[in-house]
């Protein structure tokens, strides 16, 4: 008899609740969980293909270990022994910096990826950390770090209540949203318009999101910093700026007008390829809206002035008084996050150390992934000789994969934690495959911090772990032990062994803090009160119980509202809001409570959190921080530059997910193809024909690609999606290899970066396109 089980979808940031149909151990169907307190039944084609992905025959089912140059199937003990032998020896001989750690995107979609990489990095002691963030949102972390003192204090648009939404370089109708976790983003945009609100989209392509909008501006790619500076300039010059109650928290408001003086709409309009009138009208409309939210994503980050653009997004939210107010852009308060505390004012800075070869500043303890190849290739003290790659496919996702391909092939040692033998993991000496997603438990540690509603959900594994597989938490934990030279066979429950010290250290710190309601309690006794069947469950229990809605071990009576801990307004208990039953009135969160609410617990809409969020040294919002002020002259100089005739931007397809879903037949084909989209006018000028082939060339290399002529891209812009290029030997991706596509990042040489954040410029770089016979 088929049964059903719940599983939070790990395939994008929307975190929909799925109801899986399971026959034996096979997932035979997936539909949206109508009772999920957050996603309420929404599902997209990727979620619907959960079963096909889960049972992909190319998925690895045993570890692989390189012997005599060949990757061969091995058992787990052999695999971890290989790591425990190789890595500590390398570190012994060449030092801690000789190991690089590469963390890819799916780490934010697994519990293991949230709980163990910090322990791995600590065990290794290396500063050579590279993640997908420097291909993505690092500019936003840097701008938030500078403005608010906390790189994770990223305000999210209050989608369900706003009157005016300005989307910059985001296509949530296909991506389902990013740094804004909102199941059914498309439905929420339609609801905004249905209630009389306004949607404005800024994108060089007429995307499916732009087609829903009241207004679509298609500026020249890479010019958004200028556009947003002109919007801010207009608000200030026309005395439309009204920060309101934010005023008391602002530092540097007086200096802003001077700093932006060179960017009136008339000055930036030619560079943006918009009219000054369009820009002024947008500024006035933004100011006039009762509430409004400005939100920028990939097209605002992975560009030359990504940090400035990200900063300006929040400057606009601040100048219009929309930061931290309902209907504007608010800071979430996730259930498993830290309880707000007053008085932590460490501030934020980048460049505490620099990369060895090119001297790139670290940002949030990371170095630019675009610089990974040179760190492996360039001889000298501190050269990276070994790589631990977890859920990362940088050969396709980072600039100049060919160079990285060669660099990885020359490593002394490499471990990949990955379900596939693909473009990157084929270089590993040891491949450690996690189980299919149906066999893993899930809680969204990362995305609840960017969710448009505070809520908590946890799903246990829907299918028991298959014989011969290891839970991904167990894989990570054994890796942590292995890098310390501990051969895992001696430790039957590695996750528990690794987690217990973390739990004790956290509780020791908590109970030693005079500000904590648990001050003076016995950490060992509290640790004994934790529930959960595994190490990761006990850690989740700990984080929930110590979190902003936690039961604090019931040692201080009923749950304290966050007000008691950090001076924040008490959280609205959503009595009646989500109806009775699921999601109603959670008093005192713990794992047990969460398990008793399988469809999740709703914790209410986002609420104002200032000033408790601020961790700047001044305790204020630092509106014009020095590193930003230092960037503005570069932006001013850009006004005088002649724009390139043709630039490239990326795109995402609804049925794609970066580099790794092309192997699922249900998600391939149709319009999900690696084509170069070209505007008809450019096609004519360049002698390109629809369905013909073209040679595209940029600083880093050239590619042959099929041409698709479409007026959905503006003139002067071509678009090629990323994550393709599955034509390398030694990978095992049967379906993907049949339609491999070309790797757009091969056009880049890795030198083009948003300087303050080290983020690769993946959008708006110059290219030449010529027809091929
Ligand atoms: N040109 C261009 N390049 C881009 C982008 C762009 O817009 N344009 N986008 C960038 C962005 S935003 C990102 S985030 C990166 C993403 O690029 P990456 O960080 O490389 O991430 P993915 O391609 O999503 O997946 C990486 C690997 O994770 C593996 N994986 C899948 N599920 C799991 C799991 O549960 N556990 C483990 N251990 N592994 C798993 C997959 O098999 C794959 O090998 O790409 C970036 N690259
Ligand atoms: N279906 C699907 N969903 C995904 C992913 C996926 O690969 N496929 N990846 C996930 C990941 S890792 C992420 S980070 C998110 C990304 O989420 P989004 O940012 O919403 O996704 P993109 O489709 O990359 O949207 C970026 C838009 O910016 C536009 N753009 C490019 N350059 C510029 C510019 O200079 N200025 C402006 N204003 N716009 C520009 C592009 O045309 C594109 O439409 O999506 C996530 N969800
Ligand atoms: S929108 Fe994202 S989370 Fe929801 S079903 Fe689709 S892929 Fe999964
Ligand atoms: Mo991303």
Are residues 128 and 258 in contact, defined by beta-carbon separation less than 8 angstroms? Answer: no
Q: Which tens digit of pLDDT belongs to each residue from 319-331?
A: 999 999 999 999 9
- CA-closest candidate to residue 405, choices 420, 387, 388, 427: 427
Band the pLDDT of 487: cuts 50, 70, 90.
confident
Assess whether the C-beta atom of 230 lies below 6 angstroms from ligand 3. no
Between the CA of residue 576 and those of 451, 549, 572, 773, what are the distances in Å?
Answer: 21, 18, 11, 66
Are residues 536 and 544 in contact, defined by beta-carbon separation less than 8 angstroms? Answer: no
Are residues 228 and 312 in contact, defined by beta-carbon separation less than 8 angstroms? Answer: yes
CA-proximal residue: ligand 2, atom 26 (nearest): 170
Assess whether the C-beta atom of 46 lies below 6 angstroms from ligand 3. yes
Show the domains of the chain with their CATH numbers.
156-328 (3.40.228.10), 643-772 (2.40.40.20)
Distance, in Å, from the CA atom of 672 to the CA atom of 28, rounded to the nearest integer, reads 24
Residue 610 CA, ligand 3 centroid: distance in Å? 31
Distance, in Å, from the CA atom of 114 to the CA atom of 334, rounded to the nearest integer, reads 14
Between the CA of residue 719 and those of 219, 222, 227, 642, 706, what are the distances in Å?
Answer: 14, 14, 21, 21, 12
Distance, in Å, from the CA atom of 132 to the CA atom of 369, rounded to the nearest integer, reads 7
pLDDT at 569: 39
Residue 184 CA, ligand 3 centroid: distance in Å? 9
Centre a 10 Å sphere on the Cβ of residue 761 and count the other Cβ atoms it contains: 20
Q: Return the percentage of the chain with pLDDT > 70, whole number.
A: 95
Give me the sign of the Cα torsion angle 126, 85, 132, 643. Answer: positive
- Ion ligand 4: residues, CB within 5 A, are 136
End-to-end distance of the chain based on CA atoms, in angstroms?
Answer: 57
Average pLDDT over residues 629-644: 95
Ligand 1: lining residues by beta carbon, under 6 Å: 104-106, 110, 132, 135-136, 298, 390-394, 397, 417-420, 422, 434, 472, 650, 657-660, 722-723, 744-745, 762
pLDDT at 561: 42
Q: Return the percentage of the chain with pLDDT > 90, whole number.
A: 92
Distance, in Å, from the CA atom of 315 to the CA atom of 168, rounded to the nearest integer, reads 14
Distance, in Å, from the CA atom of 720 to the CA atom of 300, rounded to the nearest integer, reads 17
Distance, in Å, from the CA atom of 434 to the CA atom of 474, rounded to the nearest integer, reads 9
Q: Which tens digit of pLDDT belongs to each residue from 257-312?
A: 999 999 999 999 999 999 999 999 999 999 999 999 999 999 999 999 999 999 99
CA-proximal residue: ligand 1, atom 44 (nearest): 393
List the structure tokens of 732. 């095992």
pLDDT at 560: 42
Are residues 394 and 104 in contact, defined by beta-carbon separation less than 8 angstroms? Answer: yes
**Sequence-distant (≥ 6) Cβ neighbours of residue 443 within 8 angstroms:** 8, 111, 336, 456, 457, 458, 459, 540
Average pLDDT over residues 549-568: 59
Residue 111 CA, ligand 3 centroid: distance in Å? 17
Bond into 370 cis (ω within 30): no
Assess whether the C-beta atom of 11 lies below 6 angstroms from ligand 3. yes
Average pLDDT over residues 618-647: 96
- CA-closest candidate to residue 393, choices 432, 426, 360: 426
Which ligand is closest in space to the CA of residue 760?
1
């Amino acid at each position: 008899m088929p049964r059903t089980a719940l599983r939070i979808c790990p395939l994008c940031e929307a975190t929909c609740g799925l109801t899986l149909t399971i026959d034996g151990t096979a997932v035979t169907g997936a539909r949206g969980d109508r009772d999920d307190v957050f996603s309420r039944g929404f599902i997209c084609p990727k979620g619907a293909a959960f079963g096909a992905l889960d049972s992909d025959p190319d998925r690895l089912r045993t570890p692989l270990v390189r012997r005599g140059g060949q990757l061969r199937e091995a058992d787990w003990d052999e695999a971890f022994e290989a790591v425990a032998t190789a890595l500590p020896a390398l570190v012994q001989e060449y030092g801690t910096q000789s190991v690089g750690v590469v963390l890819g995107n799916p780490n934010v979609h697994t519990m293991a990826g949230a709980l163990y990489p910090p322990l791995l990095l600590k065990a290794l002691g290396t500063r050579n950390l590279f993640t997908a963030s420097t291909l993505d949102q690092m500019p936003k972390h840097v701008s938030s770090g500078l403005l608010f003192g906390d790189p994770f204090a990223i305000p999210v648009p209050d989608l369900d209540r706003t009157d005016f939404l300005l989307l910059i370089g985001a296509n949530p109708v296909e991506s389902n949203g990013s740094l804004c976790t909102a199941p059914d983003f498309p439905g929420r945009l339609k609801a905004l318009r249905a209630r009389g609100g306004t949607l404005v989209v800024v994108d060089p392509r007429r995307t499916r999101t732009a087609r829903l909008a009241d207004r679509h501006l298609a500026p020249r790619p890479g010019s958004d910093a200028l556009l947003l500076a002109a919007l801010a300039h207009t608000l200030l010059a026309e005395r439309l700026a009204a920060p309101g109650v934010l005023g008391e928290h602002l530092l540097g408001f007086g200096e802003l007008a001077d700093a932006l003086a060179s960017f009136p709409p008339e000055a930036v309009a030619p560079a943006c390829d918009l009219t000054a009138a369009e820009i002024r009208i947008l500024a006035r409309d933004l100011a006039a809206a009762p509430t409004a939210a400005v939100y920028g994503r990939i097209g605002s980050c992975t560009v030359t002035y990504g940090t400035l653009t990200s900063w300006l997004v929040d400057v606009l939210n601040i100048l219009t008084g929309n930061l931290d107010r309902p209907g504007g852009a608010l800071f979430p308060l996730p259930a498993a996050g830290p309880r707000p505390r007053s008085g932590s004012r460490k501030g934020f800075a980048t460049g505490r150390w620099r990369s060895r070869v090119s001297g790139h500043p670290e940002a949030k303890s990371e170095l630019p992934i675009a610089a990974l190849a040179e760190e492996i290739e360039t001889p000298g003290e501190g050269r990276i000789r070994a790589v631990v790659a977890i859920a990362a496919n940088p050969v396709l996702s980072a600039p100049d994969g060919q160079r990285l391909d060669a660099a990885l092939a020359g490593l002394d040692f490499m471990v990949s934690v990955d379900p596939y033998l693909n473009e990157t993991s084929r270089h590993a000496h040891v491949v450690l495959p996690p189980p299919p997603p149906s066999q893993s438990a899930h809680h969204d540690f990362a995305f609840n911090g960017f969710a448009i509603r505070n809520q908590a959900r946890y799903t246990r594994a829907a299918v028991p772990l298959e014989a011969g597989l290891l839970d991904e938490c167990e894989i990570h934990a054994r890796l942590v032990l292995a890098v310390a030279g501990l051969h895992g066979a001696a430790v039957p429950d590695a996750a528990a062994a690794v987690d217990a010290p973390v739990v004790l250290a956290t509780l020791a710190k908590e109970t030693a803090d005079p500000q904590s309601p648990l001050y003076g309690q016995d950490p060992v006794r509290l640790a004994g009160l934790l529930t959960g069947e595994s190490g990761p469950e006990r850690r989740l229990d700990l984080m929930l119980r110590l979190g902003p809605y936690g039961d604090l071990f019931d040692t201080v009576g009923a749950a304290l509202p966050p007000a008691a801990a950090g001076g924040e307004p008490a959280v609205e208990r959503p009595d009646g809001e989500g109806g009775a039953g699921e999601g109603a009135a959670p008093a005192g969160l713990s794992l047990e409570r969460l398990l008793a609410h399988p469809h999740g617990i709703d914790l209410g809409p986002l609420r104002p959190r200032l000033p408790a969020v601020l961790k700047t040294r001044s305790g204020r919002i630092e509106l014009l921080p020095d590193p930003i002020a230092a960037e503005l002259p570069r932006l001013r100089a850009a006004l005088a530059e002649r724009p390139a005739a043709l630039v490239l931007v990326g795109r995402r397809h609804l049925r794609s997910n970066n580099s790794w879903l092309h192997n699922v037949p249900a998600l391939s084909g149709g319009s999900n193809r690696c084509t170069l989209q070209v505007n008809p006018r450019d096609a004519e000028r360049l002698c390109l024909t629809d369905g013909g082939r073209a040679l595209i060339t940029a600083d880093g290399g050239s590619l042959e690609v099929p041409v698709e002529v479409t007026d959905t891209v503006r003139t002067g812009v071509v678009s090629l999606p990323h994550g393709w290029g599955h034509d390398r030997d030694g990978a095992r991706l049967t379906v993907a290899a049949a339609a491999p596509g070309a790797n757009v990042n091969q056009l880049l040489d890795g030198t083009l970066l948003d300087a303050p954040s080290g983020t690769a410029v993946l959008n708006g770089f110059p290219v030449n396109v010529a027809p091929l016979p």
